[in-house]
Amino acid sequence: MALNLTLVAVAAFLIAGGVYLILERSLTRILIGIMLASNGVNTLFMAIGEPGLPALVGLVEPDEMSDPLPQAMVLTAIVITLASVAYLLSMAYRAFQLEGNDEVRDDIEDSQIRQLAELEEASESFDSIDTSDTDTSVVDDDDEHPLDPEDPGPAEPVDPAVEDDTDAPGTPTSDEAGETR
């Protein structure tokens, strides 16, 4: 069966309009753009699926049944779109409550970093590492290698509670008066 070019053109138009609106600064336009783009993708899924009869076992031949995969994908996409729209709608409402508009503004720190990058300076919070006093020479073979298998390595720390076995069973202990029990 031939692909329905009208549905593909409608899907392309919806996706293009959605992408255009997603690139705007207003959260309301971004919300409408996501809805348009997702409806375009859903239309494209349905255009790809071939028409057929309902999948009723025993009443219809398997070759004449419609493929349920595009329908399942569209249903999943609708649920994901619903969740995304609800989230963006709550963000737009909260932004309108706080600022009186739903415009997405540039971050102040991002603009400062951009200005410093244009001036080729570092910000105040950037800690530059001074590598002038570090030794970058090659290690000689005669020197000790940090991964030498014959070197036992650093001594393990000793736990004082484990080292002191005066209270072990069978050993005499002394009380404060110095008497041995």
**What pLDDT score was predicted for residue 61?**
83
pLDDT values of the chain reduced to their tens digit, one per residue, 181 residues: 567 889 999 999 999 999 999 999 888 999 999 999 999 999 998 888 777 788 777 888 878 888 888 888 889 999 999 999 999 899 889 988 988 888 888 788 888 888 888 877 665 666 666 666 665 555 555 555 556 556 665 666 666 565 555 555 555 555 555 566 5
Residue 176, exposed/middle/buried by CB under 10 A (0-12, 13-18, 19+)?
A: exposed
pTM of this structure? 0.56
Strand partners, 160: none
**What pLDDT score was predicted for residue 35?**
94
Closest CA to 36 of 19, 60, 23, 58: 19
